[in-house]
């Protein structure tokens, strides 16, 4: 898995604890997870997402070309309007997730750590006669997240994606440290991820596996436009939409707060009625400790699991909340 070659300068801040796995290179937290979460909830703080890849697409055909490749309708995307989109396999399985904004001359996208090389190769292979240029800008630009309600300034000339959850800035990498110092506190990935889980927002590589389709995660609408065709995997999207039966569905779990241990990604989920040795009906995708809700998780379970069934995540009792209707 390809990652950015250097660690963030914010890892030198007091209390910084490095992230692991896909989130190595940035801080998991700065010594007080719940304080950092409360700062985000209050509209304060800067989240270092500088380990994410940054791509740009330029050229007069950029939006019409992306429209042919992505699940989202972007052919007439207005400047400054944030969107997200997927790239699917021929069978409709999710391969890439892109978080996009166009500034009028350039389309900016940030993507999951470790996916740059494969995505760039695919995009380059699809250029054909279109007047587009695709560039990896990860060495030049770092993504930082400001929570909803933040009054931190956006420097002149910086591309920004503004959504209901906050703003993602494509900041010159050389300015990352000074920007965080001036607009902190710095907030780690664990706090950001806890709020993502609370908001039921899927993440590529955690909520997805090799056979995930968009309907299972509730990505229809936010990342998939149902009134457009012409993209790879569209037949699967249309068929599932018309039949209404994706094989699995995303659920939100309230975990038993008496457990010290959080079930990790991939932990098996079973029906509580069947006990810990029962048949596997799904797996935990992300778990987190939330400053108000306690231990929480997202999980992918079989579509026919009753919505009111009590579950067990590894050995932890879990009550489910519907994210995707069965």
> Looking at residue 5, what is its pLDDT?
58
CA proximity to 94, closest of 242, 233, 265: 233
Q: Own/partner pairs for 120-126, CB < 8 Å, 24+ apart? A: 120/55, 122/87, 122/96, 123/55, 123/57, 123/69, 126/65, 126/68, 126/69
Q: Token pair of 33, please?
A: 């997870």
Residue 1 pLDDT: 46
Fold match between domain 53-136 and domain 247-325: no
Q: Specify the pairing of strand 46-49 against strand 186-187.
A: parallel
C-alpha closest to that of 243 among 300, 303, 298: 303
Residue 193 to residue 208: CA distance in whole angstroms: 16
Query: What are the phi and psi torsion angles at 38 (to 5°)?
Result: -65, -35
- The DSSP call for residue 53 is E
Name the pTM for this structure: 0.95
Q: What string of DSSP letters covers 169-183?
A: EEEEGGGHHHHHHHH
On the CB side of 165, CA atoms within 13 Å amount to 18
First to last CA, the chain: 34
C-alpha span between 63 and 142 (Å, rounded): 23
Backbone angles phi, psi at 174, to 5 degrees: -65, -20
Boundaries of every domain in the chain:
9-52+140-199, 53-136, 247-325
Q: Is the peptide bond before 322 cis (omega within 30 degrees of 0)?
A: no
Q: What is the CATH number of domain 53-136?
A: 3.30.70.1400
Looking at residue 4, its pLDDT comes to: 54
Measuring CA to CA, how many Å separate 121 from each of 115, 124, 268?
10, 5, 34
* Mean pLDDT per 10-residue segment, the chain (326 residues): 72 96 97 97 98 98 98 97 98 98 98 97 96 98 98 97 98 98 97 98 97 97 91 95 92 90 96 92 97 97 96 95 94
How is domain 247-325 classified at the architecture level of CATH? Beta Barrel (2.40)
- Tokens linked to 116: 């740059």
pLDDT score recorded for residue 245: 87
C-alpha 264/C-alpha 313 separation (Å) is: 9
29 alpha carbon, distance to own chain's centre:
18
C-alpha 81, offset from chain centre: 18
Judge whether 150 and 44 are in contact, CB under 8 Å.
yes
């Amino acid at each position: 898995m390809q990652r950015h070659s250097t660690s963030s300068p914010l890892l030198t801040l007091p209390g910084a604890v490095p992230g692991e796995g896909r989130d190595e290179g940035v801080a998991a937290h700065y010594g007080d997870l719940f304080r950092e979460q409360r700062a985000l909830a209050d509209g304060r703080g800067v989240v270092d997402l500088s380990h994410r890849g940054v791509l740009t697409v330029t050229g007069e055909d950029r939006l019409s070309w992306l429209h042919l490749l992505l699940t989202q309708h972007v052919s007439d995307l207005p400047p400054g309007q944030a969107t997200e989109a997927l790239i699917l396999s021929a069978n409709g399985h999710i391969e890439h997730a892109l978080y996009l904004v166009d500034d009028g001359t350039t389309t900016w996208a940030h993507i999951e750590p470790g996916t740059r090389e494969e995505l760039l190769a695919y995009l380059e292979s699809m250029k054909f006669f279109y007047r587009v240029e695709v560039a990896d800008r990860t060495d030049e630009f770092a993504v930082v997240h400001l929570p909803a309600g933040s009054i931190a300034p956006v420097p002149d000339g910086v591309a920004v994606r503004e959504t209901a959850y906050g703003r993602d800035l494509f900041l010159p990498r050389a300015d990352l440290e000074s920007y965080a110092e001036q607009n902190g506190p710095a907030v780690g990935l664990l706090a950001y991820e806890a709020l993502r889980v609370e908001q039921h927002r899927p993440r590529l590589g955690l909520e997805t596996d090799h056979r995930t389709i968009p309907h299972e995660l509730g990505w229809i609408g936010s990342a998939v436009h149902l009134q457009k065709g012409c993209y790879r995997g569209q037949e699967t999207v249309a068929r599932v939409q018309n039949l209404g039966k994706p094989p699995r569905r995303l659920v939100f779990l309230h975990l038993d707060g008496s457990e010290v241990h959080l079930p990790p990604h991939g932990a098996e989920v079973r029906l509580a009625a069947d006990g810990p040795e029962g048949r596997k009906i799904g797996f935990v995708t992300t778990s987190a400790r939330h400053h108000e809700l306690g231990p929480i998780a997202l999980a992918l379970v079989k579509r026919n699991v009753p919505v009111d069934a009590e579950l067990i995540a590894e050995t932890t009792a879990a009550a489910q909340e519907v994210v995707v209707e069965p």
